[in-house]
Structure 1
């Protein structure tokens, strides 16, 4: 089994924690805060999550791309990238504060919470740069550790506050916003001089150094797609209160929590494939990953949809009975998104990020039009329907374009083969070997 396969298995194993723990914390938040309160807490964090993507300028992906190719980043380039990131982060916080009145629908408490979330934009952007560097160096253990730590810190904080009676809107927002910063600390040991020397041996030394202009050009091409992806995921949380009400947003947040499992895991695998393919393009690995992830997502979504009527209300409370249909629609959208995410990684790693970005921008326009058309009348159901249509469009176009770029039929991105089944059978042993190898490396260092 290749190193790429091992990285995929390791990162997928850690990424599963995100939705699984989400299913533990979501009922806690729902029962303590109620439907309206859950909607308000989501609305408070939504601008941070959107601007964490919008403010990155695609620089984390650019760092991944150039580092994976062995392009050295000089101290001046690093300083410029960090400086640009900090300036954008501060400006984003100021912008969030200025827009708090509209985003909160003139609710003073929600307006203050939105500002609290906005303070964390700069730290989130800096963590993104560190993640991009680790991905470029193929340090997937660090990426997996960040995801695991972020998820566990959030879960322990929320459950602990609920158990002690300290969970309210403010502490819920702080738990969501602060945990990624704590998770990002897993990258700090990799910045030590000894760690940098070990990393420099594993990358090619013949490649010319990276220039700031090149980073910005690549990043700007990726940036459009990153912004569009995040807006498609969060546009409903931003505009549902102005277009409908906080209760409908609370229903949608629960639906998103349940349906996010395949999307979160696939997004993590997509990042691995982008980092690995930026170094060596392998159409066989890309299409195989798409087939396996698509089949797994479909199986998982069908299982959730079939059993959902029996556990939705007992787990989340009677206020969320109406989340059934939005959840089923979003499960359908999650399945549709999987092959498109993998195909997008192929387009970006082949040096054509603008193609993927234009596809996502078109999908965002479609999503936004449907949100404003459907949400006032249908609330959370309308928002979920908009996501499904836009996601299906983006996925189909991305798969067709990636197939042309790789010189393979688009059908290769879906449908399991015998080789895929054999690979899945070897997965548990591979994960154990990867974990044991990491422990030995930590012991030696």
Structure 2
């Protein structure tokens, strides 16, 4: 039997998803608000340079995390007391891999910058934040495994809120430059991670009576199996931003990153569902609950995507300016890519939580390799448009391979991930009404 901490009940999954969904709603909304500030202050090329400087950091996080944050979620959800004797060595490993990653980023910065010395310096500068980013990831995994979703939500929202406020202040002072934007983007995530000190303060309340059935090598083994998937996942979603500068131009990257900021709003429900499903299913396997979560997430993502696509002519140019008009078709294509991948992302969480992270990794690896091949072919020809098309193909492959493995291993019908049911609509409606009533009550008070 797994041991849980007080206040970390894994059973109230819908509440955890609602709390987590708030952060995933706030993050893209904050990005959409801050994106016009960056776009109008830096222009197309400047916005592309910021993305080019920070994209290698995001890739390095996936490479040098070694799958440990997901392993922490999985094992802490099943047996919370393990943090008493595994947290310190895991943090030490992440510190060492982070320092190694910083060196690797510095050595490859010139190649990634397309031989632009100023951009290479910015890439190296962002890479200095890697060790801190990895350590924050471990604490985020710890909080997720303990079902401390409010804490995770505060950290994620604080990261975006900090960036938004600092960008606004610098813009008003006419001091928002590519360098300052890169520093703010890289440092905000580490600074916001300070909220996890609350976990260290409360470590004494975690029960220590359970048998130590999980060893450090078990965590590294699980992390290693899921690491390929994590790396492949970030390659699938972010490698285009790394390759676009040397294969296309910073202008194309400027168009593309704005489209990513806007289209990610369609994933506000899915990201929350995926994260909570991994922790909840690790603690207590319930197939009907997981597949219902996938269908509800698909419905919400599709509705949000349709609304964004239908209304984009009314507000996009006003927010970002006519210089970014080539981003509009990219937004619509990337929304399609996001929605296509929704059911499979939940299937991937089921695979990981039930001891088959390698299957999820296989799906993402095949998709990432396909995506990279398409990028090498399409980027020099179509630029950002080619990157968006490659993302659609990659997401489709990853999602449906995960669903296939779930069918073969657990006999879960693929239709259970895709076909909405009447009770799904009822569930979404009830939750939406409850959220609106809560918001109304908060505003009234």
TM-score by shorter chain over 0.5: yes
Q: How does 1:169-208 map to 2 (within 5 A)?
A: 169-192=178-201, 195-200=202-207, 205-208=209-212
Report the CA distance shift for 1:326/1:282 in structure 2 as closer, same or farther (over 3 A).
same
Match of residue 36, structure 1, among 34, 41, 45? 45
Question: How many angstroms does 1:407 deviate by?
Answer: 2.5
Matched with 1:395 is 399
For the 8 Å contact 2:81–2:206, the answer to whether it is kept is: no
Matched with 1:16 is 25
* Structure 2 residue 388 is the aligned partner of structure 1 residue 384: yes
TM-score normalised by length of structure 2: 0.92
Question: How many angstroms does 1:73 deviate by?
Answer: 2.7
Matched with 2:237 is 233
In structure 2, distance between residues paired with 1:86 and 1:9: 33
* Structure 2 residue 134 is the aligned partner of structure 1 residue 125: yes
For the 8 Å contact 2:21–2:268, the answer to whether it is kept is: no
For the 8 Å contact 1:105–1:242, the answer to whether it is kept is: yes
Report the CA distance shift for 1:382/1:161 in structure 2 as closer, same or farther (over 3 A).
same
TM-score normalised by length of structure 1: 0.92
Q: How does 1:67-78 map to 2 (within 5 A)?
A: 67-70=76-79, 72-73=81-82, 77-78=86-87
Q: Could you list the runs of 5+ residues in structure 1 that have no partner in the other structure?
A: 436-445
Report the CA distance shift for 1:196/1:433 in structure 2 as closer, same or farther (over 3 A).
farther
Matched with 1:101 is 110
For the 8 Å contact 2:295–2:343, the answer to whether it is kept is: yes
* Structure 2 residue 347 is the aligned partner of structure 1 residue 343: yes
Matched with 1:280 is 284
Matched with 1:413 is 417
For the 8 Å contact 1:229–1:364, the answer to whether it is kept is: yes
Aligned structure 1 segments of 4 or more residues deviating by more than 4 angstroms: 428-435
In structure 2, distance between residues paired with 1:244 and 1:157: 30
Matched with 1:372 is 376
In structure 2, distance between residues paired with 1:408 and 1:361: 22
Match of residue 136, structure 1, among 123, 142, 145? 145
Question: How many angstroms does 1:271 deviate by?
Answer: 1.2
Report the CA distance shift for 1:134/1:43 in structure 2 as closer, same or farther (over 3 A).
same
Question: How many angstroms does 1:415 deviate by?
Answer: 2.9
Q: Deviations over 1:31-61 (max 9, x none)?
A: 1111111010001001111111111111111
Q: Which moved more, 1:421-430 or 1:49-58?
A: 421-430
Q: How does 1:301-380 map to 2 (within 5 A)?
A: 301-380=305-384
In structure 1, distance between residues paired with 2:113 and 2:233: 23
In structure 2, distance between residues paired with 1:285 and 1:88: 37
In structure 1, distance between residues paired with 2:52 and 2:254: 9
For the 8 Å contact 1:63–1:136, the answer to whether it is kept is: yes
Match of residue 167, structure 2, among 137, 158, 175? 158
Matched with 1:217 is 221
